[in-house]
Amino acid sequence: MKKHKNKIIAAAVILAALTGTWFWGGNYNTRDYSVPPSGSQAAGNLPPSDNAADTIPGESVASQGVSGSTDAGTATGLPVLTDTPSPSSNMEINPDTGLDRYQTSQVPDGKPAPVEPQDMSAGDDSFTVILMVRCDMILDNMNLLNIEKHELVPEDGVIFPETTITAYEGESVFNVLQREMRRAGIHMTFRNTPIYNSAYIEAVNNLYEFDVGELSGWMYKVNGWFPNYGCSRYRLQPGDVVEWHYTCDLGRDLGEYWLGSGWGQMDD
C-alpha cells in the first residue's frame, strides 16, 4: 500500500513538471485557412468542437479528453491586438507564491511574456516562421516503447521536417502546430486545462505522453528557449523558430532540466 501511495505521489509531481512548459496549447481562436482572410477579426474562426475534430483525423472530440471551459477564443468579443500587450497579458506575480494566476513563474529577462489566448485576435498581416516536430530521443529508448508503436517512429526521428510556414498576426505556437499537423495529416491530441489557461498536448503522430516511461512527453521551444508557459500563450513573431521534441527523461535528454519554476540548461 505504501509503495502504491508513493507511486501516485511521484506521478503527481511529474505531471506538475510536465505542465510547466510542454504539452500546452489552447488558443481555440484558429482561423479557417480554407478561405481567404477578410477584414473582420472574427472571420473564419472555428468553433472549439470543429477545431478539435479537424485536428485529429478519425477521432471524436470526446476521445481527445477536451474538458473544462470551451468559450475562450470563440468568434465573438475578442479584443483587437495592438503592438503593446493589453494589461491583462502582463504577468502579475503573487509575492507569496512567486506565480501568476495561471501558475506561471516570472519569465526570464529578455524572454517574451505570455499573452493570454483571450487577448489574441487573428489579423490579416502574415509572416513566416519555422516549424519542426521530432522524436529522436525515442530512438535511444525503443525498448521502453510498446512494440506495436515502433512503426510510428521515423528512422531519422523526424515527424515533421524543418519547414518555413506562414503564420498570421495574433497566432500562437499552438495555432500553427494544430493547423500544420492537420494539413500534413498527422495525428495530434490535446485537452483543455483551464487552470493554466491553456490546452495540454497529449500526443503527436500517436506518440503519447508516458509512452516511453514516466518522464516522457512532448516539449516545445522557440528560438532555442523552452518557455515556462503553455504554447497557446506564446504569441508568434516573424522569424520565430519553433521546435517540438519528445523527451524520454523530463527534458534532460534534450539538455534541459526542470527547476520547479522553469527550465534550466544542463552543463556540458
* pLDDT band of 259, cuts 50, 70, 90: low
Q: What is the per-residue pLDDT across 98-148, written as a single tens digit (0 to 9) for each?
A: 888 888 888 889 999 999 988 888 789 999 999 999 999 999 999 999 999
**pLDDT confidence band for 195 (50 / 70 / 90):** confident
User: What total number of domains does the chain contain?
Assistant: 1
For residue 200, what are the CA distances in angstroms to 12, 26, 124, 134?
15, 7, 27, 18
What grid cell was written down for 140? 535511444
CATH number, domain with residue 64: 2.170.130.30
Query: CA distances (Å), 127 to each of 78, 94, 114, 203, in order?
Result: 22, 35, 20, 27
Q: What average pLDDT does the segment 48-76 reach?
A: 27
Q: Is the pLDDT of residue 266 over 70?
A: no
**What is the predicted pLDDT for the residue at 90?**
59
Q: What is the pTM of this model?
A: 0.68
- Helix or strand run (H / E) with residue 7: helix 2-18
Q: 63 versus 220: which is more confidently predicted?
A: 220
Domain containing residue 116:
2-265
pLDDT tens per residue across span 199-245: 789 999 999 999 999 999 999 999 999 998 998 999 999 999 999 99
| DSSP code per residue over 59-87 | --TGGGT--S---TT-SSSPPPP-SSPPG
Query: Quick one: average pLDDT of 179-205?
Result: 91
